[in-house]
Structure 1
């Protein structure tokens, strides 16, 4: 089945002043990255990108919003628990409006924090610092093992990641689906006011190149945190990631970086999005 009748809205959570540095460090803008992935997983669909952190940008409402079959949220460089930041408040209000319209949502990182916050839960800075590169040994909970978002997924797996905030309290209607030792909430399903939001704290949309680009951007902070002994050490990591991205058959680099098919194989890495499309979007398209 194709998705020629499907229309998606991707919300790029990065503010304009941070999208520039990301691009300057050879990273793909978050909205474009997710839009490309959705088009690959849902052939024939239409994808629009909005920038809700830009206060002068327009966001759909009313019938314009209802014209979409699903809403997908990217990551963000903002802080979800900054109650004084209008760029954050605006996005929370929009997520609440989508919930109230009963439209299915999906997303990564910022998305999980947004799903929880918009429904009344809380987030805070992770006392362990920034989880970066690979989130190791993400383990499905009992609810996660039986949840359709993880159909076909192993019970324990790794995923690309970059975040320093974490979910601390789930709202009523929130279900914990996955966790690891670094971050207690790695995946959630939030039902609120008739709407549904499946979200993961890690990034299925990333690949080795995108992680290398993020590291290039954040290498000073990562070095200060202790991820690297020096800037030169960070640069060597970046070089290895970029090389393995171009030559995934390199067994030596796979071993040195500790990566396997969980993240190298896009069919495995992006299973959660495909499941969302199958369970939340396809039935609605059939009924159009």
Structure 2
């Protein structure tokens, strides 16, 4: 063992949904998360598991105890749907808690952790929060939490979701929220394990947001985000142009985008803090 963490990335998307994203030019969620973790922790290793696939399982010979951190991606499933793919992920989340391996993740990840621990989620009555989550504000608990060391009290983040956390389980603490979504981040202690979850997406960049928007244009038109397809394609083009040329302050001004989302290091502050304050100390105890 090289002393660097070994991560398990849990990509809950159905295979068809992964293929749809890839066809639209978006990175598969598991690959995107693995790349982020490897960048944040030099020399680390990542395995990816797809629990929605039939006969899914850990790599041959691996157990949860082989991992130093478990990171969950977003997912297009609905956590309160009583279907086998969701039940399997809830069971797996409980097993991860029980194993005591530090957990982290985005969007679906926060929801699955909360529901696995006894909380509840529901469709947000305000509808879909898409693109940029504005004015995410830390709670008093969030301001004191190691997850947010070095983060401003108020910030923006990439976002795409309809469901939200509505009832916190015992052992959970709300760390941030905004006017659209009451719970934008959460810490969950359950069965001896700890999970730090975000509703927003530090793994995204402007290009990934553009590709996700492209894949969802028809749905976003129906919801009133774009008046027609051309408007959606124009928006995607602006995101892609700004991604290629961050000096285009005219586009950044037009879209209301700043370093909260464009500065990769700042955007991923929470990931580094999870490593520093949860993964590495737990590794030291276990080894």
1:190 aligns to 2:188 (yes or no): yes
Q: Distance in 2 between matches of 1:138 and 1:5?
A: 32
User: Is 1:123–2:121 an aligned residue pair?
Assistant: yes
Q: 1:1-288, aligned counterparts within 5 Å?
A: 4-59=3-58, 64-83=63-82, 85-287=83-285, 288=287
The offset of 1:226, in angstroms, is: 1.1
Q: Distance in 2 between matches of 1:191 and 1:76?
A: 22
Deviations, residues 70-121 of structure 1 (Å, cap 9, x unaligned): 10000001010102x1001000000001111111100000001011000000
Q: Is the 8 A contact 1:4 1:46 kept in 2?
A: no
Aligned length: 285
- 1:176-199 deviations in whole A, cap 9, x for unaligned? 000001111000000001110000
2:163 and 2:124 map into 1 onto residues whose CA distance is 5
- Cα distance, 1:5 vs structure 2: 3.2
| Root-mean-square deviation over aligned CA pairs | 1.4
Q: Indicate if the aligned counterparts of 2:123 and 2:163 stay in contact, CA closer than 8 A.
A: yes
Q: Does the residue aligned with 1:76 lie in a helix, a strand or coil?
A: coil
Q: Is the 8 A contact 2:4 2:41 kept in 1?
A: no
Q: Give the direction of change, closer, same or farther, for the CA distance of 1:232–1:115 in structure 2 (3 Å limit).
A: same
Partner SS, residue 216 of structure 2: helix
CA contact (8 A) 1:78 1:88 kept: yes
What displacement does 1:62 show? 9.9
How far apart are the structure 1 equivalents of 2:4 and 2:250?
A: 45
- Taking structure 1 as reference, are residues 17 and 63 closer, same or farther at Cα in structure 2, changes over 3 Å only? closer
Say whether the 8 Å CA contact 1:4–1:43 is kept in structure 2: no
Q: Is the 8 Å Cα contact of residues 53 and 91 (structure 1) preserved in structure 2? A: yes
Aligned mates of 1:146, 1:230 — CA distance in 2: 44
Instruction: Give 5+ residue unaligned stretches, structure 1.
Output: none
What is the deviation of 1:285? 3.3
